[in-house]
A and B are shown apart, each in its own frame.
Chain A
Amino acid sequence: MIDLNKATILIVDDAENMFHSLRSVLKLLGFGKQYLYAENGEKALKVFRERVIDLALVDNNIPIMTGEELIEIMRQDDDLKNIPVIMITGNAKKEFVANVAESEIDAYILKPVTVKLLSDKIPQVIEKANHPCAMTIHLNNADKKARNGDFDGAIEDALLAKSANPKASKPLREIGGYCIKKGDLDEAAKYFLQAVQINSVDVVAFQYLGDIFLRKGDVDNALKYLNKAMQISPRNLERGLNLGKILLKKKMVDKAMLIYNKIFHLSKEPNILKEQVVGFCIEVEAVSYAIKLLNELIARDGKRPDLLFKLGVLFENKGEGAKALIQFNEALLMDKDNIDIMLHQARVYLDQGLLLRAEKPLKVILKMNPDHKEAKKLLRKCF
């Protein structure tokens, strides 16, 4: 049981003056006895693991990881999952609300934070933590059984949770998850479909549906549900990457590009994702898009030999030898002993009929590795 007057409250915000302001208001309201401060998600996790925290007020816009990401980590950690959290955010958009549902934040407060908002929300959250509703109790029981491998027992408890709150999608989503663990994908899909009928922004259920259909090889339905999940919550990059890969496999490059552009825009490190997508493109032979992305990466990141080499190989495979040679030659200026690049350079020279030029890189390779079979084979053609 949490005693609000004696509670230890952690405030997570990169602006320290916000901590002082909130602490003053909380003291004024008589909420809490001890107040702790963390300026980012990483430090907050350290405090959560070292101290007993009764309530956390977390700003969503914090460094290293967002407030949402911090809470997602907490909800997957047995020691931290039950700590009540109130999210403070300036974002009232639909997708944010969907994310709140996804990471199971207890409540959120829209900025500007007022005394009234705090005096309303905090007691509600503590009351909910001290006296969980019947649905939460059944779901907690289900979770304990599932952790012991008793998925049938977990489903029974989750069905009780559903009876306790027929308007909530969460029990159905949980049942779906237990069915997956049992290996019954059809039954799982049935429950996830019920969940999205109840809650049309249940992004987790949509994602599960996408994954299930993907595992069943039903690409069209997988696409349908993963696309829906992305529309609701584009922040989960992994979902978007999977969806884009499916589209690329189906040769729907234009649609894949739309999704990837959105992901690159949302990501803090778009170039890493772009390199990942280049890999997908090469895998499914979406050569033109791979070339476009590599050109963007080179323009932004500078001329890295590995990127130039990849671009060269793509041109080589497209039969555009002259363009390939430009990339290989530039890559070799920076990475002069790279055997792979020299080998490709020599192959293109031979393919272009430039026998005398092919000779040089092949001889360099054989000087470095006299037993290199491919170089020996190619050099034979150079007389």
Chain B
Amino acid sequence: MTRRADLAEHNRLVKKVVDLLVDKGYENIKADLPDFEKPKKIVWQSTGEGFLPDVTVSGDEFRIFEVETADSIDDEHTANEWKLFSSYAEVNDALLYVVFPKGSVEKVKKRIKELDVDVCLWEI
């Protein structure tokens, strides 16, 4: 998949997450999509460096949704994001969801095991 096609697929999945959250009744959704308020950047306290989550919702609990395509699961950038977001979730009693397309669950589980991160899985 080309970089452009990958981005389009990523944005399609992010939009699907947002739609499902809207269906679920969430109102305070922030998403890295046009026409949406962007989520707050999450940073390592030690270096100040960090990443923008794909989607966040706050309500009864703070939830972070990080969307991956089948091709992005094994990226180094993905590993760095998961490590940071899971660490943040642990400290702040939030929940991190790794969202992935159908057919990728085993690949995601393998990666999670390698990185030893605590996440919830969501296949869409």
Binding site for B on A (CB under 8 A): 350-355, 380-381, 383
Contact = CB atoms under 8 A, between A and B. Distances in A.
Given A352-B121, A353-B123, A383 B108 contact: no
B13 to A, nearest CB: 13
Given A353-B100, A353-B105, A353-B108, A381 B120 contact: yes
Contacts of B63: 383
Interface string B92-124: 000100001000010011000000000011110
A352 B123 contact: yes
A379 B36 CA distance: 28
A350 B120 contact: yes
- Which of A351, A352, A381, A383 counts the most chain B CB atoms within 10 A? A383
Given A380-B61, A383-B24, A354 B120 contact: no
Contacts of A350: 120-121
Given A352-B105, A353-B100, A353-B105, A381 B95 contact: yes
A351 B105 CA distance: 9
A54 to B, nearest CB: 75
Given A380-B61, A383-B24, A383-B63, A353 B95 contact: no
A238 B27 CA distance: 65
B21 to A, nearest CB: 8
Contacts of A381: 95, 120
Interface of B: 21, 24, 26, 57, 61, 63, 95, 100, 105, 108-109, 120-123
A352 B105 CA distance: 6
11 contacts: A350-B121, A352-B105, A352-B121, A353-B105, A355-B122, A380-B95, A381-B95, A383-B21, A383-B57, A383-B63, A383-B95
A228 B61 CA distance: 65
A354 B95 contact: no
A152 B24 CA distance: 81
Main secondary structure of the interface of A (DSSP, over half): helix
Contacts, number: 27
B61 A353 contact: no
Given A380-B61, A380-B95, A383-B63, A355 B105 contact: no
Contacts of A355: 120-122
Please give me the 6 A-B residue pairs with the lowest Cβ-Cβ distance, nearest first.
A353-B121, A353-B123, A381-B120, A355-B122, A353-B122, A353-B105
A355 B97 CA distance: 10
Contacts of B105: 352-353
Contacts of B26: 383
Contacts of B57: 383
A197 B123 CA distance: 68
Given A352-B121, A383-B26, 17 more contacts: A350-B120, A350-B121, A351-B109, A352-B105, A352-B123, A353-B108, A353-B121, A353-B123, A355-B120, A355-B121, A355-B122, A381-B95, A381-B120, A383-B21, A383-B24, A383-B63, A383-B95
A242 to B, nearest CB: 38
Nearest to A322: B105
Nearest to A354: B123
A383 B21 CA distance: 9
A360 B100 CA distance: 21
A207 B123 CA distance: 57
A353 B121 CA distance: 4
A380 B62 CA distance: 11
Contacts of B24: 383
A241 B53 CA distance: 57
A383 B57 CA distance: 10
B31 to A, nearest CB: 15
Nearest to A319: B109
Given A383-B24, A383-B63, A351 B121 contact: yes
Contacts of A352: 105, 121, 123
A376 to B, nearest CB: 13
A352 B121 CA distance: 7
Nearest to B102: A353
A67 to B, nearest CB: 59
A351 B112 CA distance: 12
Contacts of A383: 21, 24, 26, 57, 63, 95
A322 to B, nearest CB: 10
A353 B100 CA distance: 9
A352 B61 CA distance: 23
Contacts of B100: 353
Contacts of B123: 352-354
- Which of A350, A353, A380 counts the most chain B CB atoms within 10 A? A353
